[in-house]
Structures are given as C-alpha cells and as structure tokens.
Amino acid sequence: MPETVREAAATTRAAGTATFRQPGLVLTDHHFDVPLDHADPGGATIRLYAREVVATRREHDDLPWLVYLQGGPGFAAGRPVGREHWLDRALEDYRVLLLDQRGTGRSTPADRQTLPLRGAPAEQADYLAHFRADSIVRDCELIRPRLTGGRPWTVLGQSFGGFCAVTYLSYAPEGLAQVIITGGLPSLDADPDAVYRAAYPRMERKNLAHYARYPGDEAAARRIAAHLAGREEVLPDGTLLTVEAFQQLGILLGTGDGSHRLHYLLEDAFVDTVAGPRLSDAFAEAVAAVLSRAHCPLYAILHEAIYAQDGRATHWSAERVRAEFPQFDRHFEPGARFLFTGETVHPWMLRTHPALRPLRHTAELLAERKGWTPLYDPDRLARNTVPVAAAIYHDDLYVDTEHSLRTARAIGGLRTWVTDEYEHDGVRASGRVVLDRLLTLVRDDG
C-alpha cells in the first residue's frame, strides 16, 4: 500500500474506529465530521458513518475503492452478512465503502426524535434542505482523500444512489475513476409533476400484470378496501390503515419478488372471530413492516425534493398529479379496477404514519419551499470522460425508462444495458450477475 494511503488509513482508524470479522469479510467502522452546509465550512457540522468492507484474503492489499450509494432518499446502506448479493462480486476487485448518507443509519440521524434539537419546524426545514444529492456528493469528496490518499474511486449508485452519481459526474468528476448505476438514471430536466405523470401509468401497468398472474387478488384487495372504508384500523406500530395507505402496498410491485409477496399478504388478510371477519394480526403486522417510515422518515419528507431543481416548490406533486388519474380512486364503482399505487408521498401520510406526525409542519414547509437549485450540469455531462455504465430496467416502477434512456444519451460515453430480466432491485436479486455485467461494460471488456 502506498505511503499516502497508509497514512490516510492510519488517520481514519485513529479516530476511534473498530474492526470486526465475519466469515470471508473484514469490516471497519469509519466516522467523519463534515459541514452541514458545504458553502459554510466553518459552520455547524454533522457526523457521517461508513463501513469499510474487504475480503479477508485481501485485507492488506492495495485495492481501489468502491463507494456504494444506497437508494432512497433516506435509507442507510445495507448491513452485510457475509459475501452476499452484489458485494460478493465487488470484493474480488475492490475495498468497498458502505456509506450511511447524511441523516440515515449511524450518521447523525434526522427523525422525529432528533429534529427538535434543531429548533422549530422552520429551522428543521432549513436543516433538511442540506440533505439532497449535492450535499451527499460533497460529503463523498471530503471523505475520499482521507481514505484513498487522493486517488479517485468508483461509485456504485443504486436507484437514488444513481441520481447522486449523476450529480457527482456533474460537479466533481475529478473524484471518479468509474461510475456504475443500477436503476437510477434520473431525468435531467423533468420537474416533479412530469415525474409523477409518467409514474401513474406505470403503476397501473404493474397492477394489471399482477392481476394477470394472480387473478383472485383484485377481489381480495377490494374486499380489504371495503372493510377499511367502513372501519378504522390501526396497525401494531400505530399507523392508521386507510384505503389510501393500503393502496401503497403497490410499492412491492417494483421488486423482483414483490408481486408474489403481495399475493401471499393478501391471501392471509382476514380471520374469522366471534365478532365476524376481521383483519388478522399477521396481516396487520406484515402491512406495518411494508408501510412503516420509522427507519426512513426522510424517504417521505424529502422524496419530492430530489426532483426539484428549478426554484419552484414541489407543493405535494404526487397528490396533485394523482387527480389527473381518477382510476386510482374509483375502487367501488361498477366495472372499475382496484389499483394499488407505488412510490408516492402524500400529505395525508403526515396523519396516518406515527413517524411522520410530529414532523407535519416541517414536511409542509419543505413542500412549499422555493429556491431549489440544479442538481445536474447537462453541459458538463455531455463532455463527460469518466467511464460510466448503467443498467436500465424496462418499465421500472420507480424510475421512468424513457427518462433514463434520454439521460443516457445526454451523458458522454455512457454505456447502457437495458433489460427486462430484473426489476428495480436487480443488483441485489441477481446475485453477482448485474454488477458483473456492468463492470464488463464500464471497463470496455466486451
């Protein structure tokens, strides 16, 4: 290992890190203090956490670094248990950094318990305005030289992590050796309304495909909806299960096994009791696990802000655009379909979800916030020279395929793999396959 890299590693480990071992893995904790606002480097700071992962047999090798940017926004990086999924392939060539993006996981958390430390809702909204992709990229650029000694690293961006990778290419390409994107090529210019106008028809297609696979599920879903329309149901975590909240189980339809999971969930919905049929405890607990925002409140509060970059407020875009697709609200009309929704955020969630209720005013302020700045630089992306490869999943529930293809054509040198073999979670569900294919593309090995 070159001396500069050894020195950087020694500096990082001296800050109270810990190293652990699993079969085949060595895992090291890293903590970094970074500015809350990178435009004010002398101001308030927050702490970031990242986990270094390296194959046991390569622990002391001078390996290039790969930083993994998780989907979201608002999700911590995965917690590995052995060499599973894409990580098994990555560890053949890289020392991997699993970053808990600001506000998530073991990084300084941002949730209903901690945000009051920042002040009233207005101060909380100002604080959270620094939690978008541009800040995450600047975090990475502060971390990178401390770990690599200044060498560029490879970024693997899944979903929202891919959005961050495109921001990285826009504003700090000098820090990048290669970029790999899975299900995360964003539109460079679509506002939130355009994103959701493209999303609702995809949601409908996913519903129809699910009902073609499991024809009895539509009747089962309508029965549950009718039950919820006539009585209040509260899930074990305190979530109020309304018809609209129940519809959000459609988020499962964007993953490889999600249609099957939804089917099994629906078939166990009711149980006979002395008071007649009631929703089963098992169903309620399973639904709570899907709908809970306790571990990812930023996923709801900042979701529409990840698309905002023209200075205008998002103003609850998904809710407004839903009115243009009335088929999602015609559950009980003769001949109408029952349609689940997907990755959308609505103001009523601030009432139904216990993790969001205390943040209602903060979320409302963010929805009305103006002045969101650009996250991408189309001119610089057109001149890009960093090797980039991207998997685009055909008819992806979460990211519009046509938007992704248009962006792929706008980034210089980007190579794509368009596939319908996998859904949005292909990099995980495929084991080594997706990452191996993209490494071949980005290295121009085939």
Catalytic site positions: 159, 396, 424
SS3 50: strand
The amino acid occupying position 162 is: G
What phi, psi does 25 have (nearest 5°)? -130, 150
Exposed e or buried b for every residue in 2-40, given b needs 16+ CB within 10 A?
eeebeebbeebeeeeeeeeeeeebbbbbbebebbbbbee
DSSP 291-354: H--TT-HHHHHTTGGGG--SS----SHHHHHHTT-GGGG-TTSTTPPP----S---TTHHHH-T
Query: Which H or E element spans position 389?
Result: strand 388-393
| Half-sphere CA count of 131, side-chain side, radius 13 A | 33
Task: Give the closest residue to 359 by CA, choosing from 300, 420, 295, 275.
Answer: 300
Distance CA 67, CA 52 (A): 9
SS3 173: helix
Are the C-beta atoms of residues 372 and 308 closer than 8 Å to each other? yes
Distance CA 343, CA 118 (A): 28
Going across the sheet that includes 65-69, the strands are 19-22, 25-35, 45-55, 95-100, 65-69, 153-158, 176-182, 388-393, 415-419
Are the C-beta atoms of residues 146 and 96 closer than 8 Å to each other? no
Kindly give, in sequence order, each residue whose CB lies less than 8 Å from that of residue 215, ignoring residues fewer than 6 positions away.
none
Are the C-beta atoms of residues 22 and 81 closer than 8 Å to each other? yes
The amino acid occupying position 115 is: L
What phi, psi does 83 have (nearest 5°)? -85, 75
Rg, Å, the chain Cα set: 22
Query: Which H or E element spans position 410?
Result: helix 401-410
User: CB count, 10 Å around CB of 201?
Assistant: 12
